Structure 1
Amino acid sequence: MKKTLLLLILFTAGIYSFAQWKPAGNKIQTKWAAQINVNNVLPEYPRPIMERKEWINLNGLWDFAIAPVGKAGSQLYNGKILVPFAIESGLSGVGKKLGKENELWYHREFSIPKKWSGHKVLLHFGAVDWKADVWVNDIKVGQHTGGYTPFSFDITPALKSGNNKLTVKVWDPTDHGYQPRGKQVNNPEGIWYTPVSGIWQTVWLEPVNEKHIEALKITPDIDRNILQVKALTNNLPANYRIEVKVFDGKQLAAKAQSINNQPIEINMPANTKYWSPDNPFLYTLEVSLWNGSQQLDKVHSYAAMRKYSMKRDAKGIVRLQLNNKDLFQFGPLDQGWWPDGLYTAPSDEALRYDIEKTKDLGFNMIRKHVKVEPARWYTHCDKLGMIVWQDMPNGDASPQWQARQYFDGSEKIRSAESEANFKKEWKEIMDYLYSYPSVGVWVPFNEAWGQFKTKEIVEWTKAYDPSRLVNPASGGNHYPVGDMLDLHHYPQPDLFLYDAQRATVLGEYGGIGLVMKEHLWEPNRNWGYVQFNSAKEVTDEYVKYAEQLKQLIRQGFSAAVYTQTTDVEIEVNGLMTYDREKIKVEEDRVRKVNREIVHILD
């Protein structure tokens, strides 16, 4: 009887939750939007590069209020928002813009399991755009700025038995501030899109011991056949021990230990398996923290043995290499936008889908364009075998100023506050993504959008992470620093500059448009570099450009990026429609020519 009553209560609560939420607006949606369960939103563990068994997902319906800056919003809660979807998105259930004049307030309650007693409790946020202040039971527990990286607070001293109150306040000026914000603008048009404000990645709780592993920094070295693992910890005594076990499937392949907070260098077996797009092999890791015979923490992770580098070929052309072999890196410009969730994919299946289709179409690389993704996206790339070029999201300038700057060749003079914030957020992005094997290239600037102190930023980036290549400015302004000269040319590929000292790459080309009327963000407004009337016509043009690209590879290109993975808002030049319902090219023909391109240097 009690079990039946409990099930009835849960069922009734579920119906009530669904009644409180429905997608806002009348824009197109993906098929995954209809599958959302508000009581189980994005339920997957959000940080697979460092996973623990115990955690609680706080996604779901929260109270929210919009209040003028400086006015308390906690008395104004009058609606529900579905976390972690930005307030401007349809899937939030709200669909309203925030604006720099307002602050967004969130509220919900949670309780801590009894079995967590005696542990510290960490409150994690995957990403919040842009400035977040956080209270637990009306006690301020922390503040964070930066729209693209995870952060966490130890909330243990603020907790009480029973229900606990969580309050979050967010301020986001979008393009009226100096902060990195990618393609977001208050007045979307052309290549500029809807703002994304507030919580847009998973919020979760995790118990840990007083002494625990805070992060992992994993560095493969295939030339020495060593895997280095640095466990970042919270002020460990010197005698505490870190142990790393490396598994090939279920078989133990190697292990090593360290004390005194030293990085662990693991000698890998003689038959080490290398990671590549054609064979994305991952070793699994167990990383444990010990005090004598007492295990204080254990996390599960993974690693790949791989190397990104460059070398001149027999003709003197500087080529990109993977694992000391020439590899032409070829992939789409991927902006990571969704018609229903904006920055946030409606499900993990949706998040993985774009990468799978990119792989199916024969590409071996993705350029993640002026956006940073949730951790699970990079894990999918690791598992599927997709090299990632990671852009820094641009900011500190209006789109109009950016366009002028691209033509006049000048560099932005930023305020000291703006410079410091750029460096802070870029460092946090690099720290966040360092251990993911798929990330192969850092791209600090795109088309001079907010570009400043190029030499200083690029040299710092290269020194901070010497294990990867640095593309200093995709599309210019160009300076003789970093590892690449990156050209943009639309629509057809063109090698109009060449650098004999660095790799010359085609960072953007293509943009072949096709309007599919039932799959448009705005039915009466669309845009593309060139437009055609059928999948066959688009594919004919795509293959024509691909054949031109083959010749240019022989002449000097070492990588290329095609625009783009999907339509985005009024842009209709994607390989897929914005709702992911239609592939806009003849897949077999595109796959065939793409595979020829990625293997052209074999």
Structure 2
Amino acid sequence: MKTILFFILTLSIGANAQSFMMNPYGRQNTTLLNGKWNAIIDMYSRGEVKKFYQNRKPRSKTEFIEYSFENGLRLDVPGDFNSQTPELKYYEGNIWYQRYFKVKKKPSNRQFIYFAAVSYEATVWLNGIEIGRHEGGFTPFQFEVTDVLKEGENDLVVLVNNNRRKDGIPAMNFDWWNYGGITRDVFFIETPSTYILDYKLQLNKGSKNKLSGYIKLDGINVAQQVEVSIPELKVHKTLAADENGLAAFEIIAKPQLWEPDSPKMYDVKFVSNGEAIHDKIGFRTIELKGTEILLNGKPIFLKGVNFHEEIPQFMGRACSDADAAMILNEVKALGCNFARTAHYPQNERILRKAEEMGITIWEEIPIWQGIEFTNPIILKKAETMLREMIYRDKNRSNIIIWSVANETWPTPARDSILSELVSLTRALDDTRLVGAAFNNAKFNKLTSTFNMNDNLAKVVDVVGINEYVGWYQPFPTEPENIKWNVANNKPLIMSEFGSEALYGQHGEADVASSWSEEYQENNYKKNLRMFENIPNLSGIAPWVLFDFRSPLRCHQSNQEGWNRKGVVSNKGQRKKAWYVMNQYYSETK
């Protein structure tokens, strides 16, 4: 029961924050509020002083108002604002969004506005009344609007701010584009007065025939009947929720287990008080045996790749099912059974599509270098982001690793905070593995060995190593002579490696400054030879699938604001290194 109680806690950062409901995509009585929204650029942050949220109109001949949402900028939702007009390409700051929507109120029901994500901070008003705030650019939040909603037309205003912050997560410096905006779906959701807030269903740890989970109701009259059914497994259970609205259950069944070569998923329905929620859920086990990762009791080598939530061809955030398919089809074409959704919880559409396609996932919160670990608010923010990620995605069978950080350097404050996050992760979900990615392995010239001494590596289940041998440092000796002595008692994943190349640029294979496909190709071959000497290697994930946008990348002729480490160019062209990895994966069992 401890896991359940952790999830019931309030999840969001900010005033009027609420726990968000599970799976808006499988609910009845939902309306997407996507489309064109009116927008105002508020470069000097004067909108709250000027009360843009009131969306006032002149009421007399002598009155004038110095703002207007109508007949001006229009932005797509979902979508980042940086990619929608050249003037906003580098913009960081306030953008006000506004749209009208009509409803026919049902007095006995409750109404909510649900945001799948807004980057990075959001303040929301409905009909001129502030309904809540949220911080964090990659997880959902919702606000109940039952008492504010009007019959007929309603006016929804959202202030979005994507300024980088020293006390933010991520902080001031990160190697991807700082996309701002309402970047994921927005829903208007209507529910009964008591509704299904949350549910969980998965195989018990270490079992292949015992399913367990819960249904959590929210409302005044929560002590009522609930149902869970899995028709294909001939499962139908009727339960009584307790005075807290919680109905826990166990089911004996023999599901076909989800795995990359056969990603079996079952239609599941949760019912209460006339409300039905549909989901597709797979069942699998993930555990460790020494240095091996076992999927359904069998060792699996993770043949992976990293990717960002970005469509490079139009230089913007991935938002739709079509976007998810484009990215993941390239993952599968490469020969992968694994992906690292670096460096933040990605769109639910991407994760669900990956589950359908048999792609296992490493998912992490955006603790990426430069985090102000000595600031006490960081732990609170990190815990909230971790809770929101695990809460949203706990039913996704393809997620096998929760990651608490990427490339953070050991300090007492960092060790303390990240160790607490590892403990919290296990308390929230003991059925998956916990990992982190490290970039502090050191090469010993006397022994030709990479070593790492990091307290965090001692407490995680899986150690990821980001090491760009042959790019940010030359190969210190022949790759086949390099040895590794890192986390020898647990699985190690080479979670990042590679080098940059400009598609179509050719040059010497041993000259890094050529930025050539030949250099990148040769670098990949040398890394793969080096990996043969890692005794506890359980998987690899080159960095990165596609070239991606990054303001850090300032080489005028070869980068132009792009990180060129992709094995596929920003226009979708496969580089020579792609074929190296494709062959390696096809030959690796």
Q: Under a length normalisation based on structure 1, what TM-score does the superposition of the two structures give?
A: 0.76
> Partners of 1:92 and 1:372 in 2: how far apart?
26
Contact 1:491 1:530 in 2 (8 A): no
1:169/1:262 CA distance change after superposition, 3 Å: same
1:488/1:457 CA distance change after superposition, 3 Å: same
Equivalent position to 1:177, from 137, 141, 166: 166
Deviation at 1:338, TM superposition (A): 3.0
Equivalent position to 2:390, from 427, 430, 435: 430
Paired position in structure 2 for 1:56: 31
Equivalent position to 2:454, from 478, 481, 488: 478
Paired position in structure 2 for 1:37: none
1:537/1:465 CA distance change after superposition, 3 Å: same
1:82 matched to 2:61? The reply is no
> Partners of 2:226 and 2:512 in 1: how far apart?
54
> Partners of 1:340 and 1:197 in 2: how far apart?
18
RMSD: 2.9
SS in structure 2 at match of 1:284? strand
1:233/1:278 CA distance change after superposition, 3 Å: same
- 1:461-500 deviations in Å (ceiling 9; x for gaps): 2232211111134335722111133322224686532323
1:98/1:537 CA distance change after superposition, 3 Å: closer
Please give the residue correspondences for 1:301-450 in structure 2 after superposition, counting only pairs within 5 Å.
301-312=279-290, 318-339=291-312, 344-345=317-318, 347-394=320-367, 397=370, 413-448=373-408
Please give the residue correspondences for 1:497-536 in structure 2 after superposition, counting only pairs within 5 Å.
497-511=485-499, 513-516=501-504, 533-534=516-517
Paired position in structure 2 for 1:315: none
1:538/1:145 CA distance change after superposition, 3 Å: closer
Equivalent position to 2:251, from 255, 266, 269: 266
Paired position in structure 2 for 1:38: none
Deviation at 1:133, TM superposition (A): 1.4
**Worse-superposed segment, 342-351 or 165-174:** 342-351
> Partners of 2:75 and 2:30 in 1: how far apart?
22
Deviation at 1:207, TM superposition (A): 1.5
Equivalent position to 1:162, from 152, 165, 175: 152
Give identity over the alignment, percent: 21
Which amino acid in 1 is paired with 2:113? L
Aligned length: 500
Contact 2:119 2:137 in 1 (8 A): yes
Which amino acid in 2 is paired with 1:200? T
> Partners of 1:371 and 1:436 in 2: how far apart?
16
Deviation at 1:235, TM superposition (A): 4.3
Contact 2:305 2:338 in 1 (8 A): yes
**Worse-superposed segment, 76-85 or 489-498:** 489-498
**Worse-superposed segment, 258-267 or 585-594:** 585-594
> Partners of 1:198 and 1:449 in 2: how far apart?
31
Unpaired segments ≥5 residues, structure 1: 1-45, 186-190, 313-317, 403-411, 518-527
Contact 1:82 1:92 in 2 (8 A): no
- 1:26-76 deviations in Å (ceiling 9; x for gaps): xxxxxxxxxxxxxxxxxxxx9868502432221122111123334336252
Which amino acid in 1 is paired with 2:100? E
Contact 2:32 2:187 in 1 (8 A): yes
Deviation at 1:282, TM superposition (A): 0.6
Paired position in structure 1 for 2:13: none
Please give the residue correspondences for 1:71-110 in structure 2 after superposition, counting only pairs within 5 Å.
71-72=49-50, 74=52, 75-76=66-67, 77=69, 78-89=72-83, 91=84, 95-99=88-92, 102-110=93-101
Deviation at 1:395, TM superposition (A): 5.6
Q: Under a length normalisation based on structure 2, what TM-score does the superposition of the two structures give?
A: 0.78
1:573 matched to 2:565? The reply is yes
- 1:246-269 deviations in Å (ceiling 9; x for gaps): 133xxx532223212221212113
> Partners of 1:238 and 1:420 in 2: how far apart?
30
Paired position in structure 2 for 1:289: 272
Paired position in structure 1 for 2:262: 279
Contact 1:387 1:440 in 2 (8 A): yes
Deviation at 1:117, TM superposition (A): 6.3
Which amino acid in 1 is paired with 2:528? A
> Partners of 1:413 and 1:546 in 2: how far apart?
35
Please give the residue correspondences for 1:452-467 in structure 2 after superposition, counting only pairs within 5 Å.
452-453=415-416, 454-467=418-431
Contact 1:84 1:92 in 2 (8 A): no
1:341/1:442 CA distance change after superposition, 3 Å: farther
Equivalent position to 2:196, from 203, 213, 227: 213
